[in-house]
Amino acid sequence: PNTAHEAYDPKMRHLPYRDDPEQYKAWTEGRTGYPLVDAGMRQLNQSGYMHNRARIAAAGFLVKQLFMDWKLGEHYFSEKLIDYDMSNNVGNWQWMAGTGVVAAPWFRVYSPDSQQKQYDPDYKYVKQWVPEFGTDKYPAPIVDHKFGRERAIDAIRKGRK
C-alpha cells in the first residue's frame, strides 16, 4: 500500500543512495554525456512526453549509473509527463530500480551505449533533441558506465543484507 513512497521489497528500503545535486541537475536537463538519455530528457522537458525506450534509458541511468533514489526520478516524471499515471510511473521506476513487485533483477544495469546502438544506431532521435551532439559543445559523460554499474551493484549488494 505504500509503494508510491517506499520500495516494495523491504530489503531495498535502506539503500545508501547518492545525493549529488549537480549530477541530478545534469540528468534533468539532458546533459549527461549519454546521447539517448539526454535526448529523452530534453524531449520530456520540451514536450511533456518521451518514448518508452527513452524512459527506460533515462530511468536506468538515474537509478543505476548515478545510483540515485528512484523516487527522485518518479517525482520528476510526475511533474513533466502529460501522460502521467501514478501506478504506471511508480511501478516502472521500481522495476528499473529493482525494488518492485515484478522487478528487473537489481543487478541488471543497462549500458547507455548499448541502448543507443540498439535503438537509435543512426542517432536520428538524438539529433532531433540534442542539436549540439557531435560538436565540442556536447558534454563528456558525467559517469563512466563500468564505474557506475559496479558502484550500484556493490552498494545494493551490501544494502540488501
Q: What is the pLDDT of residue 4?
A: 85
| Domain-located, residue 60 | yes
All three cell numbers of 34, joined, read 549519454
Residue 52 CA to residue 71 CA, distance in Å, equals 18
Domains of the chain: total: 1
Q: What is the pLDDT of residue 106?
A: 63
Q: What is the pLDDT of residue 1?
A: 62
Q: What is the pLDDT of residue 2?
A: 80
Q: What is the pLDDT of residue 16?
A: 92
Could you list the residue range(s) of the whole structural domain that residue 148 is in?
18-159
Consecutive 10-residue runs of the chain (161 residues): their mean pLDDT?
Answer: 81 91 99 98 98 95 96 98 94 88 68 93 98 98 96 87 66
| Domain-located, residue 13 | no
Residue 39 CA to residue 30 CA, distance in Å, equals 7
Burial 43-56 (b: 16+ CB within 10 A, else e): bbeeeeebeeebbb
84 annotated among ligand-binding-site residues: yes
CATH code where residue 127 lies = 1.10.579.10
Q: What is the pLDDT of residue 105?
A: 65
| Domain-located, residue 8 | no
Residue 21 CA to residue 138 CA, distance in Å, equals 20
85 annotated among ligand-binding-site residues: yes
Residue 65 CA to residue 57 CA, distance in Å, equals 10
Q: What is the pLDDT of residue 36?
A: 98
113 annotated among ligand-binding-site residues: no
Q: Are 50 and 126 in contact (CB under 8 A)?
A: no
| Domain-located, residue 5 | no
Q: What is the pLDDT of residue 24?
A: 99
Q: What is the pLDDT of residue 109?
A: 81
| Domain-located, residue 144 | yes
Q: What is the pLDDT of residue 3?
A: 80
Residue 88 CA to residue 29 CA, distance in Å, equals 23
Q: What is the pLDDT of residue 103?
A: 55
Q: What is the pLDDT of residue 56?
A: 94
